[in-house]
Structure 1
Amino acid sequence: MAWFINHYECERCGGTWRDEWSCMCDDDCPHCGARHMTPAESEDLTEVIDERGADFIVLRSPDTAEHDPDYRELGRFATRKEALAFLEADGD
């Protein structure tokens, strides 16, 4: 399942916030309560590379994820370049 960090700016009060969710959905302003604010920007975090010690671990949010990304490990690599190459080849 896709996973996003959505960045919002309220059209009424100018407040900003971010929220993680499985889609690029509208949200209500936590500052003033204005409804249906569309994300100004969204970061796709469905697939990420996490650096742990000397390893670069490729993670993907599975289709079963609902309220959090529930990342699953796809592979471990010695370099970020190898991890990126894996992601690019996996998308073909």
Structure 2
Amino acid sequence: MAWFLNFYRCGRCRRIWTDEWSCTCDDECPRCGFRDMTPFNSEDLTELIVEEGGKFAVLRSSDEAEDDPDYEELGRFPTRDAAKEFLGDHQPD
């Protein structure tokens, strides 16, 4: 399932906040409660490459993810370039 980091700015109090979710949905301002704020930007976090112990792990948000990404490891690689190449060639089931 897709996973996003959404960036919001309140139309009433101008507060800026972020929220992670499985879509780029509207949100409510955590400061003043103003509703239906649409993200002004979003980062796709569905697939990640993270460095762990000198290797580069490729992670993908689980198809069953609902309230959190529930990342599954797809593989570990000796270099970031090898991990990127794997992601470019790998198709989800």
- TM-score range normalised by the length of the shorter chain: over 0.9
Q: CA RMSD in A?
A: 1.2
CA deviations 1:2-33 (Å, max 9, x no partner) are 00110101111110100011110000001111
Report the number of matched residues. Answer: 92
Structure 1 moving runs of 4+ over 6 Å: none
- Say which SS state the counterpart of residue 64 (structure 1) adopts: coil
| Aligned-pair CA distance for 1:75 | 0.6
State whether structure 2 residue 42 is matched by structure 1 residue 29. Answer: no
Q: TM-score, normalised by structure 2?
A: 0.95
- Say which SS state the counterpart of residue 65 (structure 2) adopts: coil
Segments of structure 2 that go 5 or more residues without pairing to the other structure are: none
Q: TM-score, normalised by structure 1?
A: 0.96
CA deviations 1:23-79 (Å, max 9, x no partner) are 100000011111000001111000000100211000000110111100000010000
Residue 54 (structure 1) aligns with:
54
- CA–CA distance in structure 2, aligned partners of residues 45 and 61 of structure 1: 8
Residue 39 (structure 1) aligns with:
39
